[in-house]
Each structure stands twice: as C-alpha cells, then as structure tokens.
Amino acid sequence: MPNKNGSVYGLTILSPIIDDDKATPSHDLQIRDYLARLSTREDSPFAVAPGTHLARLVVLDDVIYVGMPACEEHLKSKYLIFESNCDGDLDGYLHGLADTIADHLDAIWKHCVGYPGAANRQAFVDYMKACQLNTTFYFAAVNDKSVEETLRALQTKTAVADFIATHQGADPATLQREFIRFAAELKARPIPRPGSMGPLRDIKTGGHNE
C-alpha cells in the first residue's frame, strides 16, 4: 500500500509558496526564518501534536541542473516540503495537527498558495490532501511501534541496564523482591516527552569533511 509501511504513515506534502515580489522579505524567506527560530525539542509543535516520529520542513528553492547534456529548467514557484513519518491514518494525523498546533500551522503555511487556515478543519484537510504527493516507496526500520511505545522502550532500556548493573550478585529472594518493585515503578513512570532527549540546537550542517 503506498504511503504506508506497517502502522507508520509516510506523508509527503508539497505546497506551492506564494510568489509576491512586493513582499519583503519574500514568503519563502519568511518561512525559513520562522523555521530557523522554531524549537526542535519538547516544545516543538511536532512534540505537542500527537503521532510524529520524525518530520522535516524544507523549502525547495528550485530543481537542480545536473549538467550537459541534460537540459536546464527552473521551477516557476518555490515549494514547501513537509515530510512526516507518523502514527495512524492521514485524517487522524491532520486533525491532530489542526487541533493542537493551529497557530504554528498558520504561521508557516499562510505563506503558501491557497492555504485556508487551520480553523476550518475540513478546508485544512482538503488543502493538505490537494498538496499531497504519493510516497512511492517507503522504508521504516521499525514499522509497528507508536511514538509512545518507542519512548517508553527507550526509557526501559536505560532503566533495565541500571537495574542489572546494581543488582549483580544479589541473592534470589532480594532480587525478586527488588525486581517486582522496579517493574511496577517503571510501569507507572510517565514516558519521556517526545523531543526531550535532544541536544541544544545548533546551526550546524553535516559537513563533508567529518
């Protein structure tokens, strides 16, 4: 099935950006600026909205000329790419975005042609679907676990390593007692917030010399 891999959905949205030479800075630059200042940590809009494993926003400036004998051509508009790897189905995800982060959606997509705003849910969903590209081939290393399950498992991994390390050589009765308590406490622990294990954001690209 296109776009889907197991329980994960590969959403690809390509939104034309408004081309208005009277806007200064131009709409594409305004988007870039907004995104550059947007947090990617637990206060990221995609941490607040449910169901996003990994997502990116990219302003596609133009296609690339690869050199003779290929022909040179240029796009007439710039486009905003939204690539998301998310849980659930498309409608649920889009509604989730509109419900929780309408302000951010509007701030970003208001620079795009024909964007109706997130307030009108149906119009918003229709707009996104009109801009949706079919994900022809979609690979997911883990395709059957939700964001919450993954965050919980990562927390568990650290906790288990610590438990094993600190209970080496314990006698069976103590071990059992402590383990039962540990397992219960771990189960009750809230899962870490999405995006929360991130390092401080830095304007650093992946250089080709590392």
Residue type, 34: Y
Which of 21, 22, 24, 73 is the binder for other proteins (CB under 8 A)? 73
Residue 31, Cα to own-chain centre: how many angstroms?
17
Tell me: does residue 25 bind other proteins (CB under 8 A): no
Which of 22, 24, 67, 190 is the binder for other proteins (CB under 8 A)? 67
Helix (H) or strand (E) holding 27: helix 27-36
Binding mask 90-109 for other proteins (x = CB under 8 A): --------------------
Tell me: does residue 188 bind other proteins (CB under 8 A): no
85 contacts 54 by C-beta, under 8 angstroms: yes
Tell me: does residue 151 bind other proteins (CB under 8 A): yes
* Binders of other proteins in range 120-139 (CB under 8 A): 130-131, 133-139
Which of 63, 119, 120, 185 is the binder for other proteins (CB under 8 A)? 63
Neighbours of 101 (CB within 10 A): 19
Smallest separation, CB 109 to other proteins (Å)? 12
Choices 68-76, 88-96, 117-125 (CB under 8 A): range interacting with other proteins: 68-76
Distance CA 166, CA 151 (A): 23
Residue type, 160: V
Q: Is 38 helix (H, G, I), strand (E, B) or coil?
A: coil
User: Between residues 58 and 119, which has the closer beta carbon with respect to other proteins?
Assistant: 58
Which of 56, 103, 185, 189 is the binder for other proteins (CB under 8 A)? 56
82 contacts 57 by C-beta, under 8 angstroms: yes
Residue 121, Cα to own-chain centre: how many angstroms?
20
How big is the CA angle at 43 (ends 40 and 49), to the nearest 5 degrees? 95
Tell me: does residue 190 bind other proteins (CB under 8 A): no
Choices 49-57, 92-100, 117-125 (CB under 8 A): range interacting with other proteins: 49-57
Q: What is the CA radius of gyration of the chain?
A: 22
Tell me: does residue 29 bind other proteins (CB under 8 A): no
User: Between residues 44 and 124, which has the closer beta carbon with respect to other proteins?
Assistant: 44
